[in-house]
Amino acid sequence: MRRWRSLVTGSEHRVAEIVMPRLSDSMEEGTIVRWLKRDGDEVARGEELVEIETDKATMAYESDTAGTLQITAQEGATLPVGAKIAVIGDDDPELSEAAASAEVGVEVPEPAATPAADGETAPAASAPATRRSGERVKASPIARRIAGETGVDLDSLSGSGPGGRIVKADVEGAGTAASATPPAATTSGGEASGRGTVTATEPTRTQALIARRMAESRATVPSFTLQISVDMTTATTLRAELKASAGEGQAVPTINDMVVKASALALREQPQANGAWRDGHFEHYSRVNIGVAVAGAGTLVVPTVFDADTKTLAEISAESGALAGSVRSGTITPPQTSGGTFTVSNLGMFGVRSFEAVINTPQAAILAVGAVEQRPAVHEGEIEARMLMELTLACDHRILYGADGAKLLARIKALLEAPLSLAS
């Protein structure tokens, strides 16, 4: 909270600057999706104020102070973390407008006095706008800003503020149009290069950030990949038995749940892989938090199963299912997508046998999981049909060397081929 002096009464008031919050450990900027309160509304501490889209999710941000809201950043605006988006202060319209247009923490000076028609003194208007006739019009800073954004001619308005000053309410009352939102797609006709009609669609903020980070990962991480075949015959048999004995509505661990648990146990045994390369040094994490890649509506989200090495297979199954449901319903929150130390990406449900995933920087590695399918294999000296699955581990060579990655992958394989070891 900072002290401000009213331009009208000279009395002191307090205002607080609301800035773009950091809602996840990787957030650099955010987009204002929707204000949940309007200009001039009274806001209580802890009340939901605005919906903000980050690189991982959209969530509501709660006000940490109480007072009258003055919005300074409009819906659709993308701003860096720490940038001002609103101010909340005492219920003084002139104060709110002055605070919204000034630097928080700088006391507003007493206004200079100008002679009034009746010989009294009246407060001077701040930075008056210019009439086309060359005369001056008194208008508050925010009124001038809104007028400029919405195309309202200040010369045509009569001010309801002190001394005939035009304030925000006057501009809004003039029937201004809502702030424009750029179209999501543009279409250009033509048959250039035989492609037919071309439609260009703007990516969402999340899609744009995913594109940028994947490009950065490929460009900056010296990665290598290792692949191994896992015999999942025993695991699939065990899962079938669990499914047959499960009660109605009881969740049954999936193959991916088993991979998550096996990865977590292997990482606990090999802590070097449970780390990152950040700013020229190694980071090692005491918690084993597995990110699970989930396809959402036109995007990819990686919610986190925290402390997966200490959770039972049933707990991982229930938590993973709930997180995936939140991703698909659009209710996932940034805290649920932060703090991952290793990532598992599974495309087996689409019949993909193997693939290479892009490392989720700054993590040391990512595990790509293929389909479990029946294929001929040598088992106990005989060729027979076995349920096989391909795992591909992509490693950051700055953190893991070939032998390190091979040991981690071999341990995950061993745990999956002896699935009772995952039950604890």
Instruction: Please write the tens of the pLDDT for every residue from 63-121.
Output: 888 889 999 998 888 888 889 999 998 655 554 455 545 443 333 343 444 333 333 33
Domains and CATH numbers, the chain: 2-172 (2.40.50.100), 205-422 (3.30.559.10)
Q: How confident is the model at residue 157 (pLDDT cuts 50, 70, 90)?
A: confident
What's the pLDDT at 57?
72
CA 52/CA 20 separation, integer angstroms: 9
CA 293/CA 298 separation, integer angstroms: 13
pLDDT digits (tens, 9 = 90+) for 330-365: 888 888 988 999 999 999 999 999 999 999 999 999
pTM over 0.85? The answer is no
- Average confidence (pLDDT) over 149-177: 72
pLDDT digits (tens, 9 = 90+) for 4-31: 444 444 455 567 889 998 877 677 788 8
Catalytic pick from 13, 281, 284, 397?
397
CA 391/CA 417 separation, integer angstroms: 13
DSSP-derived 3-state class of residue 279: coil
CA 99/CA 108 separation, integer angstroms: 8
Q: How confident is the model at residue 141 (pLDDT cuts 50, 70, 90)?
A: low
| Ramachandran region, residue 309 (left: φ > 0; alpha: ψ -120 to 50; beta: rest) | alpha
Averaged pLDDT score across all residues of the chain: 81
- Does the pLDDT at position 310 exceed 90? yes
Terminal-to-terminal C-alpha distance of the chain: 51
CA-based nearest residue to 259, from 370, 364, 386, 400: 370
User: Is-catalytic flag, 379?
Assistant: no
- Does the pLDDT at position 171 exceed 90? no
CA 290/CA 305 separation, integer angstroms: 5
pLDDT digits (tens, 9 = 90+) for 273-294: 999 998 889 999 999 999 999 9
